[in-house]
Structure 1
Amino acid sequence: MQQDSGDPEVQRVRKAAEAADWATVRAVLEARPESEDRTELLSAVSDTAGVERWITEVLEAEPDATLPRLVAGMRHISWAWEARTGARAKHVSREQFEVFHTRLRTAEQWLYEVAEREPGWVSPWYGLQTTGRGLQVGQAVARRRFEATVRRDPYHLGAHTQQLQQVCDKWGGSHEEMHAFARESAFGAPGGTLLGQLVAIAHIEQWLSLDAGPDTEYIRRPEVTLSLREAADHSFRHPDFVRGGAWIQVLNTFAMAFSLAGNRHMARECFEAIDGRVTEFPWYYLNGSDPAAAYRRHRSAAGR
């Protein structure tokens, strides 16, 4: 079993980022055009500790280059969340919030500059969706940032996932708004896109919001299982579905959702398709320290 995004360049760019090897980071990023969605590669770089130190030297050495600004902006987002941690707001100190907001504002400065320099790029607007949620810019501004992203890439999974979070109950939206957005996005897209994952994420989000007992009662409702099945049929089970991009994460998400819903048959189909390739999301919801252990447990329960 391996933790695998399905994209071999993710590991390559992450190792280069860890080694402060800007030449390789730049080569990998430049080889992936914005039209093919390079946000996963950018996330691999931005989630790497220490990038905030060496990217400053790159910015000084290449003052007219746009790509280092994009990397700096994306890194400041991850660096901000490292300071905030994943704790609930009431458990985050005032000092942590100050660092969190300062780093997000710095990220916004870099990302707006990139967006101005490269109007057709998707990545800076995707990043601005994340900073906006952290800075609590409000639903209207958040929606405009989402729309700016999807004008450039209508079926961008990351952009839709960010907006789904924005309309979640925990970020000032509601369960009803979240489910409506998920279904409208998934079924408003052609059959075979990755956006069916949004329906599964929405059900997982509501399950997470409930106490033990009511959570199982909710996720095992017949209408939830039907909703998941309809989304699967329009997404990864559709004849036009292509195993590319974030498809492995999409199947992992459906595997978890169907497992929680008690639909062993559909869960097993997902586990068979991904064949041991586990992604951190969404399994870390079940075991933050060892997502693969949660994957193995549910795969075994599904008969795989």
Structure 2
Amino acid sequence: MALLRDWGLTLGRLAGRPAAQVQKDSGDPDVGRVRAAAAAADWSTVRAVLEGRPESEDRTELLWAVGDTAGVERWIAGVLEAEPEAALPRLVAGIRHISWGWEARTGARAKDVSRDQFEVFHARLRQAEQWLYEVAEREPQWTSPWYALQITGRGLQVGQTVARRRFDATVRRDRHHLGAHQQQLQQVCDKWGGSHEEMHAFARESAFGAPGGTLLGQLVAIAHIEEWLSLDDGPDAVHMRRADVKTSLREAAEHSIRHPDFVRRGAWNQVFNTFAMAFSLAGDRAAARECFQATDGRVTDFPWYYINGSDPAAAYRQQRSSTGR
């Protein structure tokens, strides 16, 4: 398998296109710095990096870099004791407990998750919620606790009404927060108790209700991918290749990634990867090639793990090849 993989990369170089490599983050150097500090239990550096990125500039990626680091749950307990009134340690602890909770649950289907796993999962999410509400009370202008509460809410199945309130609380503080909109889109998906109609309506309302050039156009592409995922083989391809779906994707791209005000910052590469997947599945080869070219071989886990969970780069390469690029 290694030989085949290396051969595939060689062919890519010979064809004059960049080899596909999974990009673990946006490329922001602070992400690697804060992740290393979290792994080393270096709270002073973690705090300095997080405090150096104001909430108004969206520090979600930095927080998850800490939260996804194993062992943070052990050393953050001492920080909470040492700084009982501080909001930031509680925010870090809350986000770590969300990630730690999902680790206990795993990504298996609900029917394959044991009762013990669910108990640990829910206990960790409930603890996370306690800390996050404390943060929201102490720092009422912060977006991050409300965004994180959207995630705990889905895991704890708080229902659509409460989930919507949490989303509204997030976007009151940051109107075009991409993560908040991604979470709410999942909340209104059919698989989480919503419907395809509600999902598509939310995606278009959010994307076109925002000024041209924001990242929110991605929501339209995600919604079509979500419906594609829900269908059996055959009907899924029929859906993606419908004329109205192609038109919808093109309109969203024109309002976001193709708009003259679009700036490549934050999660921009994930947005291009999402459009690349959606356009390639739709058979819009020219539009897909444009998006693949913009990614320059930098593959984001989402959305490619929907096609190949163990090797997103392989899914990327397969779809890129289908465009003739």
TM-score, normalising length from structure 2? 0.91
Q: Partner letter of residue 71 of structure 2? A: G
Q: Partner letter of residue 319 of structure 2? A: H
Q: Give 1:278's match in structure 2, choosing from 299, 308, 312.
A: 299
Q: Partner letter of residue 43 of structure 1? A: W
Deviations 1:67-87 (A, max 9, x none): 110000001111111111111
Q: Give 2:134's match in structure 1, choosing from 113, 135, 142.
A: 113
Deviations 1:84-143 (A, max 9, x none): 111111111111111111111000000000000000000000000111111111111111
Q: Partner letter of residue 301 of structure 1? A: S
1:134-145 mapped onto 2 (5 Å cutoff): 134-145=155-166
CA distance in 2, matches of 1:228, 1:73: 36
Do structure 1's residue 243 and structure 2's residue 264 form an aligned pair? yes
* 2:7 aligned partner: none
Report the Cα offset of residue 6 of structure 1. Answer: 3.4
Q: Give 2:276's match in structure 1, choosing from 255, 272, 279.
A: 255
Question: Residue 22 of structure 2 contacts residue 301 of structure 2 at CA under 8 Å; is this kept in 1?
Answer: no
Q: Partner letter of residue 184 of structure 1? A: E
* 2:148 aligned partner: 127
* Partner-residue secondary structure (3-state), 2:26: coil
CA distance in 1, matches of 2:307, 2:222: 14
CA distance in 1, matches of 2:313, 2:47: 31
CA distance in 2, matches of 1:259, 1:74: 34
* 2:232 aligned partner: 211
Q: Partner letter of residue 67 of structure 2? A: S
| Larger-Rg structure | 2
1:174-213 mapped onto 2 (5 Å cutoff): 174-213=195-234
Structure 1: segments with no counterpart, 5+ residues: none
CA distance in 2, matches of 1:28, 1:136: 33
* Partner-residue secondary structure (3-state), 2:261: coil
1:72-83 mapped onto 2 (5 Å cutoff): 72-83=93-104
Question: Residue 53 of structure 2 contacts residue 59 of structure 2 at CA under 8 Å; is this kept in 1?
Answer: yes
* Partner-residue secondary structure (3-state), 1:27: helix
Q: Partner letter of residue 69 of structure 2? A: T
**Greater CA deviation, 232-241 or 42-51?**
42-51
CA distance in 1, matches of 2:41, 2:129: 23
* 1:166 aligned partner: 187
Q: Give 1:71's match in structure 2, choosing from 86, 92, 96.
A: 92
Q: Give 1:289's match in structure 2, choosing from 306, 310, 323.
A: 310
Q: Give 2:246's match in structure 1, choosing from 190, 212, 225.
A: 225
Question: Residue 97 of structure 2 contacts residue 124 of structure 2 at CA under 8 Å; is this kept in 1?
Answer: yes
* 2:55 aligned partner: 34
Q: Partner letter of residue 264 of structure 1? A: R
Do structure 1's residue 44 and structure 2's residue 65 form an aligned pair? yes
Report the Cα offset of residue 2 of structure 1. Answer: 4.7
* Partner-residue secondary structure (3-state), 1:111: helix
Report the Cα offset of residue 24 of structure 1. Answer: 1.8
**Greater CA deviation, 174-183 or 290-299?**
290-299
Question: Residue 6 of structure 1 contacts residue 246 of structure 1 at CA under 8 Å; is this kept in 2?
Answer: no
Report the Cα offset of residue 290 of structure 1. Answer: 1.5
The CA RMSD measured in Å over matched residues stands at: 1.1
CA distance in 1, matches of 2:281, 2:41: 41
Q: Give 1:25's match in structure 2, choosing from 36, 43, 46.
A: 46
Q: Give 1:101's match in structure 2, choosing from 116, 122, 130.
A: 122
Question: Residue 73 of structure 1 contacts residue 111 of structure 1 at CA under 8 Å; is this kept in 2?
Answer: yes
Do structure 1's residue 7 and structure 2's residue 28 form an aligned pair? yes
TM-score, normalising length from structure 1? 0.97
Q: Partner letter of residue 87 of structure 2? A: T
CA distance in 2, matches of 1:6, 1:298: 24
Report the Cα offset of residue 8 of structure 1. Answer: 2.4
